[in-house]
Amino acid sequence: MKKAIVLLLALSVAVVLGYACDGGNTSTITQEAVSISGATNSQLYYPTGISNVTGATSMSAGYTQGLANVEWLSKKLAENGYVVVAFTPDNTLGYVSQWRDLHKAAIQKIKDLNNNHSVLKGKINTAKLQTCGHSKGGGGSLWASAQLGSTLKTTIGMAPYEEGFADSALGSITAATFIQAGGGDTLATNSMTRGEYSGLSTSISRMYVEYTGYSHLAWDGVSGEAASDATVANRISGDIIAWMKYYLDGQTSYASTLSNTSGTARHEWVDKSGSSSSSSSSSSSSGCN
């Protein structure tokens, strides 16, 4: 009897710890097609049976790619309680400015959904909005954030490709900004992504993580590492979820995940929220990843 009780308690602790590390995975999500001007297709993802008011993000892949390439991440974020609007530009061979404009349009779509969607009406916290994209979609995410200002609370660039804007243009970003980079990226090179990071205002919370060995396609869920290597996918999504939980939702327990320097060649985190740390290191530390 005592052994059974001990086993039950151990299983209960494991469930609680798993919930803490994955951000409260809802498992079931709903997908719907939505319309955004300038996008050949766009998709809405949200937790099925959503009851709590939650944050929301735009999502896009980059050059030659579409929402299918980041669908894995869109679903992961929806499973963790967020509303996601992902899009594919009409011209996937276009300039970064096209992705910038579509990220802005996706944020407006999110606001519209909060006003008139049959399920999401009143369920989106419009004070908790974010842009997120990969490659040219990542460059567009940062550029859109610079123009949207206080409309956004956070912004994420995944291997953000720079074209058509100067690093100094990013100095007007007021959102907490996370730039993910690949140590083996020959397109959005480290000098490019570091330049973007250096262009950010010193008054905002910001983070730069260079993952050892990751290529430019590490974030691609169709033919990149995220599709073939669960460890890569889990690290990328785990850090993004932790960033959103920490800065969108104020869940400071995710500081341990954000502080995890294992598997990184460069890790810098400057937290202006008054809750955590500033670091530059390649040594490992504890976290859920």
pLDDT per residue over 65-82, tens digit each? 999 999 999 999 999 999
Q: Residue 222's domain spans which residues?
A: 29-280
Question: For 46-50, 135-139, 255-259, 273-277, which range has the lowest pLDDT when averaged over its residues?
Answer: 273-277
Crossing angle of helices 136-148 and 96-116, in 10° steps, is 60
| Number of domains the chain is built from | 1
Tell me the residue ranges of DSSP E strands in the chain: 29-34, 39-47, 54-60, 83-89, 124-134, 154-158, 176-182, 206-211, 264-270, 278-280
Beta bridge partners of 44: 32, 85
Q: What is the pTM of this model?
A: 0.88
Tell me: pLDDT of 153 over 60. yes
Mean pLDDT of 47-62: 96
Residue 140 banded pLDDT, cuts 50, 70, 90: very high
Q: How far apart are CA 152 and CA 37, in angstroms?
A: 21
Q: From residue 77, how far is each of 4, 267, 285 by CA, in Å?
A: 36, 23, 24
What is the reported pLDDT for 165? 87
Could you tell me if residue 14 is inside a domain? no
Could you tell me if residue 19 is inside a domain? no
CATH of the domain at 256: 3.40.50.1820
Whole-number percent of the chain with pLDDT over 70: 85
Could you tell me if residue 257 is inside a domain? yes
